[in-house]
Amino acid sequence: MTKRLWTTSVLAVVVAMLFVACQATNPSPSPSAPAASEAPPASEAPPASEAPGSAAPPASGALPEVPTGYTELDTALGPDKPYTGKRVTIQTQWIEGEGANFDAAVAPLEEATGIDVVQESIASQHEVVLRTRISGKTPPDLAMLAQPSAVVEYGSRGETTNVATFMDPAKLGSDFSAGFGTALLSGDNGEIWGIPYKVDVKSTIWYPIKAFEAAGYAVPTTWDELKALSAKIVADGNGSPWCLGILDGAATGWIATDWLEDVMLRTAGIDAYNRWITHDLKFDSPEVRAALAVLAEQWFTDGYVNGGYQSITATDRLESWDPMFQPEPGCWMHRQATWLGPDFFPDVRAGGPGTQSQYVLGEDIGIMYFPQIDAAQGTPGLGAGDTLMVLVDNPDRPEIRAVAEYLATPFGLKAWIDIGSAQSANQTTPAEWYQSYKQQIAADIVGNSTSFGFDASDLMPPEANRAFWDGITAWIDSGGTGTDQFVQSVDAAWPQ
């Protein structure tokens, strides 16, 4: 027994010493590893850091010019690269292609400053993971979030940083438009809780160009033309005008609320729209009911939606537009934001990531503007976007501010824009950066918009947003007969 005990304790001592040794070596890798990570860039670094001084033009292509208007970013881009080897973590909801695009967007900053920006991509439940980390007081340094209302909530709890404390609020105010700007992210006392980053234009309808040409259909530019087109498609026996499926698991409903928001902007106007967001205009109001009536006509008329209106809430959102790709389309129009694209074409989805689609955007599949309804309300645009939150801010880690400031400039998204699929929230972004078919359509919509509304449901309090999603889903299932129930349920769910 004694012998065994001894053996055990000797073994334990060895194990313990091993642990202690490892613990002791722990601090050492931190300095040594950055040194190692320094090494590869170091060889490339001289030309990169020389660039701002000696050869300004190539540098200006990928990086903002100093002075950038932001303190820490200027310091970071300074010749002595003071933040070399510092690591900044950012949690995003972008995976695979989108995640790689974001990495590409921050690469120029990493190269020029030596800051290591580590993206922590959370595939599903990004918001839940973020909430857990923030509640547990171990947040990532930065995070992207699609719901401004949640950003403001984190701000009011003191869990995210007021960026106005280190960034010029006036500059932020003018860099970002009223549609997706600091006003949506402000606290009660002028705090700015987040920085707009990337926008999606939502007022877009996808359609099969060649099938439209073959059938002799013209792209409608007014609502009357759209109504005529819907009627004609049905009369021609060419299937249904709309490809519409809103099933999206726990988030079911948002596609329908987007529709209603687009219509609200066109029938009630931006002022009523903004009052609607703050509940100064009730759901139970003539404006909302009128907008619902517009929807009801397109959604509930027999034959207008592929599979009938009962299929809307039971059809997966990503599969819903598949019939559009048939040689003789089963449905002809699919209203969805600009984030949609070749990655979501049926042949790519079937083939998996990396598959090359047989359809070409701009040749086979086109994008049109969701038409004007009431000329008095002009040609509004609807959009949504991602907001950057600065979750860790302390004097020892100025590099976090530098990264946030970089992402606030158009250059923070440039590489992603160059890929052809992103739109910056920053309105100082040069128009010539947008080269792809999709970007130009989106830029046109933004440019031609007489008013621009941000996704209302993302700005409403979360309870109201959820009631809105659930309510409109139930309303669709009722075939439009449950209007009273729908509008009253959302009004009732609004937090007091």
Q: Under the rule (CB under 8 A), what is the footprint of another protein? A: 2, 5-6, 8-9, 12-13, 15-16, 19-20, 22-23, 25-26, 28-30, 32-34, 36-37, 39, 87, 89, 116, 118, 120, 127-128, 131, 138, 150, 153, 157, 249-252, 307-308, 310-311, 313-314, 461-463, 466, 470, 473-474, 477
Least gap, CB of 198 to another protein (angstroms)? 22
Does residue 114 contact residue 403 with C-beta atoms inside 8 Å? no
Q: Which CB sits closer to another protein, 37 or 440?
A: 37
* Rounded Cα–Cα distance for residues 231 and 140 (Å): 52
Nearest distance, CB of residue 293 and another protein, angstroms: 24
Nearest 10 degrees: Cα torsion 338, 341, 344, 350: 180
Task: State the nearest-atom distance from the C-beta of 463 to another protein, in Å.
Answer: 5
Q: Smallest distance from the beta carbon of 39 to another protein, in angstroms? A: 8
Most distant CA pair in the chain, distance = 95
Instruction: State in angstroms the smallest separation of the CB of 453 from another protein.
Output: 23
Provide the minimum distance between the beta carbon of 12 and another protein in the complex, in angstroms, as a whole number.
4
Nearer to another protein, 19 or 53 (CB): 19
Q: CA distances (Å), 122 to each of 125, 236, 259, in order?
A: 7, 47, 28
Residue nearer to another protein on the CB measure, 78 or 303: 303
Nearest distance in Å: CB 357, another protein:
24
Which phi and psi angles does 333 have, rounded to 5°?
Answer: -140, 140
Instruction: State how far the Cα of 357 lies from the Cα of 317, in Å rounded to an integer.
Output: 19
| For another protein, the closer CB: 210 or 466 | 466
Rounded to a whole number of angstroms, the minimum distance from the CB of residue 359 to another protein is 24
CB of residue 124 to another protein, shortest distance in Å = 12
Nearer to another protein, 123 or 218 (CB): 123
C-beta neighbour count of 168 within 10 angstroms = 13
Residue (28 or 43) nearer to another protein, CB: 28
- Determine contact, residues 413/420, Cβ cutoff 8 Å: no
Q: CB-wise, 37 or 427, nearer to another protein?
A: 37
Residue 305 vs residues 165, 302, 312, 370, 441: alpha-carbon distances, Å: 51, 8, 8, 17, 25
Q: Are 209 and 414 in contact (CB under 8 A)?
A: no
With beta carbons less than 8 A apart as the criterion, state whether 127 and 150 touch.
yes
3-state class (DSSP) for residue 62: helix
- Quick one: how many helices (H) and strands (E) in the chain? 20, 11
Given the complex with another protein, which of 232 and 466 has the nearer CB atom?
466
The neighbouring-strand residues paired with 381 are 452
- Could you tell me the smallest distance in angstroms from the CB atom of residue 373 to another protein? 29
Residues contacting residue 408 through CB under 8 Å, at least 6 positions apart: 70, 167, 172, 175, 195, 197, 388, 426
- Between strands 87-92 and 142-145, the pairing is parallel
Nearer to another protein, 311 or 427 (CB): 311
Work out whether strand 331-335 and strand 240-242 pair parallel, antiparallel, or are unpaired.
Answer: parallel
**Residue 19: strand, helix, or coil:** helix
- Residue 152 or 233 with smaller CB distance to another protein: 152
